[in-house]
Structure 1
Amino acid sequence: MNSVNASTGFSPFQLRMGRSPRIIPPLVPNSLTADISASSEGGAAKAIIDQIERDVAEAKDNLFMAKVSQASAANVHREKDDFFDIGDKVMLSTLHRRREYKNKGDKRVAK
């Protein structure tokens, strides 16, 4: 459920809460309480918000890089577009065209 997403590089929990969930409680709880008690509540809250903002910005960068990578991989097998000038005659499928266009003599599909 909280596995790391391949595109973002973060778990949903980490992006929402700003930290990875702890599976095993820390073995040395005194170091955690000392860190928390050393900073004020406002400073700790600001640090958490800053961490979440950095994680979200990094996730956006990772999504952009994944998008670029996927686009370049998809474009490898695509052909270049054909360019047509005004007045060029091309063959079109008239399966879904109106009947009056089919009966014109110059083979142009235009009004």
Structure 2
Amino acid sequence: MGMGKVLQSIKKAEMAAEQTLADAQAESNKILSDARRDASDLITQTTEEAQTSIQTILDSARESAMKNVKAVQKDWGKAVSSVTTDATKNQDAAVDLIVEKLLNQ
């Protein structure tokens, strides 16, 4: 083999190595870009799922609180009604007592 062919063979090998390096760099950049896109998509999806979950929890808590409020209102409504009824009875008894005292004087 002549010296020219050896040099030409070396030159071809160098060019092939440079092309392989360029291809590897391009593939590396693509992998990195895909990973960044996937990470961004995952963050977006996770954020949306978290917001949905939070809204569900808040809705459930609000519903539970409203049930408690209604139960308390109902209980206090009964208590107020009972106090009102007792007050009316006591008022009637007081009026009767006063009238009786006035008539007996």
Same-fold call, TM cutoff 0.5: no
Bigger radius of gyration among the two: 2
TM-score (normalised: structure 2): 0.38
TM-score (normalised: structure 1): 0.36
Higher RCO (Cα < 8 Å, 6 or more apart): 1
